[in-house]
Structure 1
Amino acid sequence: MAHAAALAWRTHLPDHVRQPLLRFYEEDELERVCNALARPPAHSCVRANTVRISGEELAGRMREELERLAVREGPSEHAGVSRYGEVRVHEVIGDAVVIRPDEHDAREILPEGRELVVSRRCAEAVLRGSHIFIPGMMGCSPHTAKGDVVTVLCDVQDRFLRGASTHILSTRKLDPKRMKGFVSNHMHEVSDEKKQQFRLNNSKLSHLYGDTNRSSDASFPELPEGIVVIGKGVMQVDRRVAMSAKEGLGCIMTECIFRAPPLNGLLPGLMYVQNFPSIVVGHVLDPQPGERILDMCASPGGKTTHAAAIMQGEGSVTAIDRTQAKAAVIRENAQHLGLKNVWVLKGDSSSIPPVGGNVPLPEELEVDAVEPSGGGVGGEVKKKIQFDELFDRIILDPPCTALGLRPRLAVDIPPIEMERTPAYQRRMMHVAVGLLKTGGRLVYSTCTINPEENECNVAWALKALPLKLLRASPIVAKPGRPESDRQRKGEGKEKKEEEQKQEQKKEEKEKKEREGKQWMGKGRNNLQMIKRRTSE
């Protein structure tokens, strides 16, 4: 039986994530944040590669490309407007092109055909406009063939083994034999008790994660917990290839709960797909021609290439990340955009020697050091670099809990990461100060909503490091949470609890003193009584 999907999208936060955030957010405020996190942003954004094209020119080209892509879906419901919405240059950030869909509310999806189950990360990409690539496919209906229409489901909890044959839409149940932890070469090794418990869990129809997929027929059961419908598509490969290949396009999305344009691969070399806040970072940094710029945690290279483009090839941008694979991605993106003033280095930004005079480049960084004069991002030249106060401006976008990324259908951050990440970021800030010239500019940015990693780290840096706070420009959003908020919601709460404990201790002490006095009083009375008897 077909059904329409009724949406109630919300990101579920585990307690070890939720409780630290409640030190800074009110309950209703955090609830609104969770509701927003599960949905994609209201608009998509790309950055014009200004060494080749202006923002206005890119906007015009984008309109043409999106109109061409929209032909197969038919005309827009709004006359004179592209199916993918309005395309315009941002009014403040001139190299940012914004695509705002003509509808942002979640749409109902009427399932049809066979079913395809994708991973959570794949589903999150689809909600931003991506098609489905083979590595994200986890299971599908038996005998699914190329050209078949499929209803795309997401298992938010990522429980499926790749290659599973699924019958979720027809049975409204999950088969334990297809799930992680319940499949082995010898099924008899799985106890009957575990199988029974697993089936019992699957029979529960409440939802933590969002789409309840209600049927128009109230008697028709909902989908199992954690299974959401995200859209429909057309298979580009058959089931055998989909479940065995390691790369390639697997399914073209024809309908999605949230409308967003497929941007990857459009206008190669002329634009870079980048979230708007990340584009703002480059303008706040404000690199000048001839300066030395450092991006300390650079992969995949969005901020690196933006700084290089703003400088129009004059000066140098050094990009560092800790693995060869990440360094290769930065190098590839810089080459793709035609930027010649980028150095790509492999290394750990938390341990670059920040002070001590003429500090040579660590050995692991020497291997990938690249001189702009030697072919920019193309060559590899061993070179000793003095890293003490070398850079005019530094971008520090350190590893974070990424709680601000959208859409986020589930949060799987380990408790230890919530605890250790702020300290790790502070270590990088300390290193950055040693690399920055006196009078230089450090821009610190994250993609998380955790104030411990944002405002609290900035407050720490202003107290512990030789830095002063500058007013960011341009300003395109509301300011962050001031330190006073932390005092009120975080330290203020702890202080209040401490005062309550002290008051409780004081009351207990006074109570004991009163009891002691009463006991002493009884003792004196007894003594008096004894004295009287003695005198008598």
Structure 2
Amino acid sequence: MEQTKFMAYLKELFEPLCNQLSLHVGDVIENLCAELATPPLTSSVRVNTLKTPIVSEGVESVKDVLEKYCRERNCSTSISMSVHPLLPDVLLIEGSGPHSDLRLYDKEILVEMTCGQSVLRGADVYGPGILGAPKDLFIGESVSVYADSGNESRKGLVKKYDGPKVYIGNGKACQTRADWFGPSAKSSGLAIRMTDPLYISPSLNEMLLNDVAFPQSLPSLVVSHVLKPTETDRVLDMCAAPGGKATHLATLMRNKGVIIALDRSAGKMKSLKHNVKRFGLTNVHCFHHDSTAACSSKSDDASSQRNFPGPPPYPPAFFDKVLLDAPCSGLGQRPRFNFSINLTDFTSLPLYQKKLLAQAVLLLKPGGKLLYSTCSLSPEENEAQVKWLLSTFKEMILIEQSPVIGYPGLSMFELSREECLKLQRFGPAAFNKQLSSSPLSLDTIGFFIALFEKKN
């Protein structure tokens, strides 16, 4: 029911744009969902240039991880890797698929939807993700693995599941059914080694990469390069966990200047602090705080300067650069099998994003830059927010970005053609692939970037 309501909402949202482009909205939404159900074939890794200033040295560490991945799977061809032509600290790793010639085995394993999505990005299957398995399964046996795409199956299923499911590849059992269900069930452990996945898309384990490299989506790597922090900047990352962008900014700043990294989730703060420590960064200061209350006119500027870098709130016009990678619907994450999104939650997100944007403007110095990003394809979380900010805060102007790897923003919400050209979108774009400046901007998760400057 939630999916039906949400799809109807998407059609209503995109219909004016589709009419403008002479496209059938039903076909556009269908193609969009089909593309979101597949993983990007290109993975990206950021080399820690503080640890390995010469990127080619980082290549060797990543290559070791890739070779191990291929040895454990029936990879008929080697996985190619190259340095991104516009992002000198980014490695691109080319996967392949779908491999439609795989044999289907009689014995089937059913896994949770989220587990299946991870498998399409290169992961193996672990015990907690299994929903169903045959009783007579032995260790070492070959099985075909399916994901419960409808998110409807009960745990412990014995028979083959006849509900909505997606084939994700073949593997070998490393445990038995008794390890997953019943009184002797294990809480963890490798359950199925995916020897023949539908997509060859290396899972770049952060533990294997240590402090040399960091797996990150390509658009999120573009963010830090577009914001261009300097070694003397005071930077605020308003929603920083788990720390990919904060640690990237810190690396570009050569571990100099100051970055304040805030996040309202206590649980996610652990990941943020772990990544900052893992990269040996001393210019990133992490605080558990909701950024909708990051600025206070009552904060004394002299006192804040004296105690900086201390915890929030901070006085107005305190930061040279502000990054707002806003909490969003995630309607750009790939792969995604299901769109059972609560419509009320989805439509309430823009209000929270506006609260964060208002704080960002207050905290930004005149002449400073604000970067707004989401991992959503929804125009209401993207172009609509750009129009609102420009209309509400006359001191803010939209400025050009560099590097430009994505395609322009959508002509919606009365944004001019010139303004759309200053925005970057990434990922599936059934309505305007012809506007893409690079095929790499399409084979990524869905993402959006806008860059603003505060007038003096």
Tell me, yes or no, whether TM beats 0.5: yes
Deviation at 1:443, TM superposition (A): 0.4
Which residue identity does 2:100 align to in structure 1?
A: R
Distance 1:143 1:445, change over 3 A: same
After superposition, the C-alpha distances for 1:97-139 in whole angstroms (9 at most, x for unaligned) are 10112x3344243222532211111111111111122332222
Listed as ranges, the matches of 1:114-513 within 5 Å are 114-162=107-155, 164-168=156-160, 174=161, 224-243=162-181, 244-264=185-205, 265-358=207-300, 386-465=314-393, 466-483=395-412
Query: Conserved in 2, the CA contact under 8 Å of 1:343 and 1:371?
Result: no
Deviation at 1:337, TM superposition (A): 2.0
Residue number in structure 2 paired with 1:97: 91
SS, match of residue 474 in structure 1: coil
Measure the CA separation in 2 of the matches of 1:355 and 1:404: 36
How many aligned positions are there?
400
Deviation at 1:95, TM superposition (A): 1.0
Deviation at 1:255, TM superposition (A): 1.1
Which residue identity does 2:200 align to in structure 1?
A: R
Measure the CA separation in 1 of the matches of 2:109 and 2:301: 55
Distance 1:343 1:249, change over 3 A: farther
Measure the CA separation in 1 of the matches of 2:344 and 2:375: 19
Measure the CA separation in 2 of the matches of 1:395 and 1:455: 17
Q: CA RMSD in A?
A: 2.8
Query: Conserved in 2, the CA contact under 8 Å of 1:133 and 1:249?
Result: yes
Query: Conserved in 2, the CA contact under 8 Å of 1:297 and 1:397?
Result: yes
Distance 1:74 1:34, change over 3 A: closer
Query: Conserved in 2, the CA contact under 8 Å of 1:360 and 1:384?
Result: no
Residue number in structure 1 paired with 2:446: none
Distance 1:383 1:478, change over 3 A: closer
Distance 1:40 1:19, change over 3 A: same
Query: Conserved in 1, the CA contact under 8 Å of 2:38 and 2:334?
Result: yes
Deviation at 1:384, TM superposition (A): 6.6
Which residue identity does 1:62 align to in structure 2?
A: V
Query: Conserved in 1, the CA contact under 8 Å of 2:295 and 2:312?
Result: no
Unaligned residue ranges in structure 1 (runs of 5+):
1-10, 169-173, 175-223, 362-369, 373-381, 489-536
After superposition, the C-alpha distances for 1:238-290 in whole angstroms (9 at most, x for unaligned) are 32333443333332211111111121143211111110000000101111112
Distance 1:351 1:247, change over 3 A: farther
Measure the CA separation in 2 of the matches of 1:249 and 1:308: 35
Measure the CA separation in 2 of the matches of 1:151 and 1:137: 13
Which residue identity does 1:226 align to in structure 2?
A: P
SS, match of residue 317 in structure 1: strand
Deviation at 1:350, TM superposition (A): 2.0
Distance 1:445 1:134, change over 3 A: same
Query: Conserved in 1, the CA contact under 8 Å of 2:109 and 2:133?
Result: yes
Deviation at 1:154, TM superposition (A): 0.7
Residue number in structure 2 paired with 1:202: none
Farther-moved stretch of structure 1 (111-120 vs 458-467): 111-120
Of 60, 69, 80, the residue aligned with 1:86 is: 80
Measure the CA separation in 2 of the matches of 1:448 and 1:86: 29
Query: Conserved in 2, the CA contact under 8 Å of 1:24 and 1:485?
Result: no
Deviation at 1:359, TM superposition (A): 8.0
Query: Conserved in 2, the CA contact under 8 Å of 1:46 and 1:97?
Result: yes
Which residue identity does 2:397 align to in structure 1?
A: K
Query: Conserved in 1, the CA contact under 8 Å of 2:384 and 2:413?
Result: no
Deviation at 1:302, TM superposition (A): 0.7
- Between Structure 1 and Structure 2, the one with more strand by share is 2
Structure 1 segments (4+ residues) deviating >6 Å? 484-488
Measure the CA separation in 1 of the matches of 2:153 and 2:301: 50
Query: Conserved in 2, the CA contact under 8 Å of 1:354 and 1:434?
Result: no
Measure the CA separation in 2 of the matches of 1:238 and 1:105: 28
After superposition, the C-alpha distances for 1:499-522 in whole angstroms (9 at most, x for unaligned) are xxxxxxxxxxxxxxxxxxxxxxxx
Deviation at 1:462, TM superposition (A): 0.8
Farther-moved stretch of structure 1 (274-283 vs 470-479): 470-479
Unaligned residue ranges in structure 2 (runs of 5+):
418-456
Distance 1:139 1:360, change over 3 A: farther
SS, match of residue 314 in structure 1: coil
Percent sequence identity over aligned pairs: 32
Measure the CA separation in 1 of the matches of 2:296 and 2:377: 29
Distance 1:469 1:160, change over 3 A: same
Deviation at 1:484, TM superposition (A): 6.7
Distance 1:251 1:340, change over 3 A: farther
Residue number in structure 2 paired with 1:34: 33
- Structure showing greater Rg: 1
Residue number in structure 2 paired with 1:57: 57
Measure the CA separation in 2 of the matches of 1:147 and 1:94: 43
Residue number in structure 2 paired with 1:376: none
Distance 1:247 1:459, change over 3 A: same
SS, match of residue 167 in structure 2: strand
Measure the CA separation in 2 of the matches of 1:414 and 1:451: 17
After superposition, the C-alpha distances for 1:280-333 in whole angstroms (9 at most, x for unaligned) are 001011111121111111111111111111111101211111122111110011
